[in-house]
Structure 1
């Protein structure tokens, strides 16, 4: 869920991985691995990313809405 939401929200904000990584003070390679689901993010990282994306941290952890 996290990886999918992170990528979706980053795209919705029009940010590149480089831009988001810079603003959240993480490396671009680490961000890339988070978006691929290779690494898990700590709560501290979730908070940093949420702040840059201007969403509540829970938004990054939500299950996607099911289509009917």
Structure 2
């Protein structure tokens, strides 16, 4: 992984958005047509998410992609 701090910051950002919407990891995975392990690994910075997954997650969370990827890297 080339940018571990950015991957970790994104995972934290995703978790905050998901929890603010009151959605479980399983529910997000179902809505985004991804596995729960993909959501779990993304939130725990064990997986560098793809653009395809980002698009699915933003749609599942009903937020624009730009809001999903606009996060501070140094948290």
Q: Quickly name the TM-score band, shorter chain normalised.
A: 0.7 to 0.9
What's the CA shift for 1:38?
0.8
Return structure 1 stretches of 4+ with deviation > 4 angstroms.
none
- Secondary structure, in 3 states, of the residue corresponding to 1:48? helix
Look up the match of 1:58. 66
Which structure 2 residues correspond to residues 30-41 of structure 1 after superposition, within 5 A? Answer: 30-41=38-49
- TM-score, normalised relative to structure 2: 0.78
Match of 1:8 in 2: 16
Alignment partner of 1:26 is 2:8: no
Please report the RMSD computed on the Cα atoms of aligned residues, expressed in angstroms. Answer: 1.0
Conserved in 2, the CA contact under 8 Å of 1:5 and 1:59? no
Where does structure 1 lack aligned partners over 5 or more consecutive residues?
A: none
